[in-house]
Structure 1
Amino acid sequence: MEKTPTLDHEIVPNNSPPLRGNDDTLSSRSATLLVLVVFIMSLLGMVWVFAQFPELDEEDTRQLRLPREINDAKDLGRLLSKYKDSHYYTVLSSYFLTYIFLQTFAIPGSIFLSILSGFLFPTVLALSLVCTCSGIGATFCYLLSSLIGRGLVRKYIPERAEKWREQVSRHKDDLINYIIFLRMTPFLPNWFINIVSPVIGVPITPFFIATVIGVAPPSFLFIRAGTTLYELTTATSHISWFSIGMLAVLSVLSILPVLFRRRLREKLD
């Protein structure tokens, strides 16, 4: 009978150093308390940021909330565009910090913020914002997971994490290309990559670089959709088969150097 992986051992790629900041150096209770403190401080920071907005009337106050569906995004877009010209940096910083907050704590809603960026800002600025926020937020999530993620992964998703550890071990020489590929495809959800990466020993530098690059193509599709925000009926209603095909092509191109190097290595061996 096949034994189910338990992740009791350190899950790291071959020849990778053990992950620091794990349960051996920081107790689970202390780590959980630290993450809770970070969350509360971040939440208070968000409250302070939105307190910098000018005094809002009752209708505007109702619209100032995290979007959970496309109609929420339309309401928020209408509100932010109303104040963007007179309070540009307040709107910009609020967007920036909110996106990072959602990414850091794996809270749904960042897809609607990507759409909003296309509505509020020029395309180049919007794409730069989304990629930067995604990279920073995902890295913060990585760091928090390095404190408390091991126990959660061991308890809830040991088999899935073990399978990905094996994949990471096989791609240890091409981690950046491999993670870029995963960020552009739906094979693994972003929250899974962010949480499990430090547990299985993915180094933080290639993780950050690959995240910033890998989220760009899919984010561009949502940013372009945001330019016609009021015409959208769902978050994906303006994504065409052509766009999906282009995304698939870019995903294949991201992994081609890996396949080429492997084939060349096999011939040389």
Structure 2
Amino acid sequence: MSTVDRRIGNNRNQNVQGPNTIAKAPPNNLSTSKALFVVIIIFISSLCTLGLIYRQFPELEEHEKQHIKLPWDLEDAKQLGLVLDRYKDRYFTEVMFGVFLVYIFLQTFAIPGSIFLSILSGFLFPFYLALLLVCCCSAIGASLCFFLSNLLGKKLVKKFFPEKAAQWSMVVEKHKNNLLNYIIFLRVTPFLPNWFINMTAPVIGVPLVPFALGTFIGVAPPSFVAIQAGQTLHTLTSTRDAWSWTSVTVLSIFALISLVPVLMKEKLRKKFD
């Protein structure tokens, strides 16, 4: 066999993939232990940054200090909202920047609680400012989680979610020409948890630009509901109180709208083929 024939045979073997093959993101040269060390350093640095922001905050009353913490439930969000609301007018920049960084921290490390910060933003800030804040934080935090997953998450995803990741990889390949609309659809609908999307996207080859832009646009409709609920935070007893048939209908409409360009493109393609 000639050298040319061997090269052709090797190329063919490399291009043949089974249906369960997970698309690979660009490789990094770090070992798992080094990647884990880098992630830990980033996490500790982020905590130190949050600590510095806390130290820059104005002096709190003794009974208020206990409520300055990550909100794990609606009651925590209420108490935190009451404290921040007292200082918001005089220290608006500090309060908003603090919410901004904490939101990104939760999104970056896939820590639960961002829904309570969305509700809290609706309570503290004007509606459109809160919506822009939440969308920006979601896009930035998801993108940072994307990078961390690309650094460390490949082996974790393949070990703990191999079938789910393989299935989504095939779906992504099917929609590779409409990834922006597909990411928007996933963010609007609850079919896949946001943390799972953030962790698996780089592993199966989703590019960063449609991922980040799709996140920014796609989180707007559910955030709209959460922020609107935050305007009546003191009356909420559960996060389920934020949802109604009207809000579900609105989210369904947005999900369908995100698919319209895909359907139109497919229709035009069939027409001209």
SS in 1 for 2:240: coil
Alignment of 1:72 onto 2:84? no
Alignment of 1:29 onto 2:37? no
Unaligned runs of 5+ in 2: 1-17
Residue in structure 2 matched with residue 43 of structure 1 by the alignment:
47
1:251 CA drift (Å) = 0.3
Report if the CA contact (8 A) 1:119-1:227 is conserved. yes
> How high is the TM-score relative to the length of structure 2?
0.91
The one of 245, 258, 273 aligned to 1:254:
258
For 2:106 and 2:19, the matched residues in 1 are separated by 30
Report if the CA contact (8 A) 1:6-1:158 is conserved. no
Residue in structure 2 matched with residue 96 of structure 1 by the alignment:
100
1:263 CA drift (Å) = 2.4
Identity between Structure 1 and Structure 2 (%):
52
Residue in structure 2 matched with residue 15 of structure 1 by the alignment:
none
SS in 2 for 1:237: helix
The number of residue pairs the alignment matches comes to 256
For 1:74 and 1:227, the matched residues in 2 are separated by 11
Considering fraction of residues, name the structure with more helix: 2
Residue in structure 1 matched with residue 270 of structure 2 by the alignment:
266
Matches within 5 A, 1:183-262: 183-262=187-266
Residue in structure 2 matched with residue 54 of structure 1 by the alignment:
58
Cα deviation 1:221-266 (Å, max 9, x = unaligned): 0000000010101113032101111110110110121122112212
Cα deviation 1:167-216 (Å, max 9, x = unaligned): 00000000000000000000011001100000001000110100000000
Residue in structure 1 matched with residue 26 of structure 2 by the alignment:
20
Counterpart residue identity of residue 86, structure 1:
R
**Which has the bigger relative contact order, CA under 8 A and spacing at least 6?**
1
For 2:19 and 2:263, the matched residues in 1 are separated by 31
Residue in structure 1 matched with residue 133 of structure 2 by the alignment:
129
Unaligned runs of 5+ in 1: 13-17
SS in 1 for 2:202: coil
Larger radius of gyration: 2
Counterpart residue identity of residue 62, structure 1:
Q
For 1:52 and 1:21, the matched residues in 2 are separated by 40
Counterpart residue identity of residue 98, structure 2:
S
Counterpart residue identity of residue 60, structure 1:
E
> How high is the TM-score relative to the length of structure 1?
0.92
Residue in structure 2 matched with residue 149 of structure 1 by the alignment:
153
Counterpart residue identity of residue 199, structure 1:
V
SS in 1 for 2:242: coil
Cα deviation 1:30-61 (Å, max 9, x = unaligned): 11100000000001111111111122222101
